[in-house]
Chain A
Amino acid sequence: QKEVEQNSGPLSVPEGAIASLNCTYSDRGSQSFFWYRQYSGKSPELIMSIYSNGDKEDGRFTAQLNKASQYVSLLIRDSQPSDSATYLCAGDFKPGAGSYQLTFGKGTKLSVIP
């Protein structure tokens, strides 16, 4: 069974610090990985997608993918209180003849302390 594992947290960082969120996955066949941010009661919002090994930067966010180690991470630089949310790691898997499906981790709750 394909799994995505995340530390559920909560992860607390002071404002202005770097928040580091980590995720491991079990299926080597996955090609695409995503980080979603979800505020309480709201929809998951895509903040980063990454498809190849290495780093991908977008503003204050950097996603890192290491397929050999089956590891995905998200760094948030200069963390702001508005970054406080649950961060969901997801991998896109295609089980056999089925469709591509997102497999989610349980999410890491991040609190940025002013």
Chain B
Amino acid sequence: EAGVTQFPSHSVIEKGQTVTLRCDPISGHDNLYWYRRVMGKEIKFLLHFVKESKQDESGMPNNRFLAERTGGTYSTLKVQPAELEDSGVYFCASSQVEGGLYGYTFGSGTRLTVV
């Protein structure tokens, strides 16, 4: 079974530019999550999709961040325009059911550097 796939693995962009991160969850996992780790801090929740619907986006930092999951398969997270403080590692995770009953599987993350 393929795991959670994220790309790109690294992205370096200039302040003010746009970046789009992609996540392919495990096939059949309706629940897809985005998390972020900024330097020196813990991993923090951004949002949760159930199929194509946003279930909870309470962790999104501001309206420069837009997540989509058209068709309920892969998801994208767009940052526009990027700011320096957006630098960090963005993780995607998926699960069979909401909550951790069967655990969450994480991707290897996208390391975003805004310069």
Interface of B is mostly: loop
CA distance A98 to B57 in the complex (A): 9
Pick 7 A–B contacts, CB within 8 A, sort by A.
A44-B43, A49-B103, A99-B48, A99-B98, A100-B48, A102-B93, A103-B42
- Shortest C-beta distance, B110 to chain A (Å), equals 11
Q: Taking beta carbons and an 8 Å cutoff, which residues of A are in contact with B? A: 4, 32, 34, 36, 41-46, 49, 88, 90, 92, 94-95, 98-107
Known: A95-B58, A101-B56. A44 touches B100 (CB 8 A): no
Interface string of B24-56 (1 = CB under 8 A from A): 000000000101000001111100100000011
Known: A43-B91, A102-B45, A104-B43. A94 touches B106 (CB 8 A): no
CA distance A99 to B33 in the complex (A): 10
Q: Confirm or deny: B109 has a beta carbon within 8 angstroms of a beta carbon on chain A.
A: yes
Contacting residue for A42 out of B93, B100, B108, CB 8 A: B108
With most chain B CB atoms within 10 A of its CB, the pick from A34, A102, A104 is A102
B106 and A43 contacting across the interface, CB-CB below 8 Å: yes
Contacting residue for B55 out of A36, A99, A105, A107, CB 8 A: A99
- Shortest C-beta distance, B11 to chain A (Å), equals 15
Contacting residue for A43 out of B4, B33, B42, CB 8 A: B4
With most chain A CB atoms within 10 A of its CB, the pick from B59, B103, B105 is B103
Q: Which residues of B contact A46 (CB under 8 A)?
A: 103-106
Known: A43-B106, A43-B109, A46-B105. A32 touches B99 (CB 8 A): yes
Q: Confirm or deny: B107 has a beta carbon within 8 angstroms of a beta carbon on chain A.
A: yes
Q: Which residues of A contact B100 (CB under 8 A)?
A: 32, 34, 49, 92, 100, 102
Q: Which residues of B contact A34 (CB under 8 A)?
A: 100, 103-104
B42 and A107 contacting across the interface, CB-CB below 8 Å: yes
Q: What is the chain A residue whose CB lies nearest that of B97? A: A100
In addition to A43-B106, A44-B43, A101-B45, 8 A-B residue pairs with Cβ atoms within 8 Å of each other are A36-B106, A43-B109, A45-B106, A90-B43, A102-B45, A102-B100, A103-B45, A105-B42
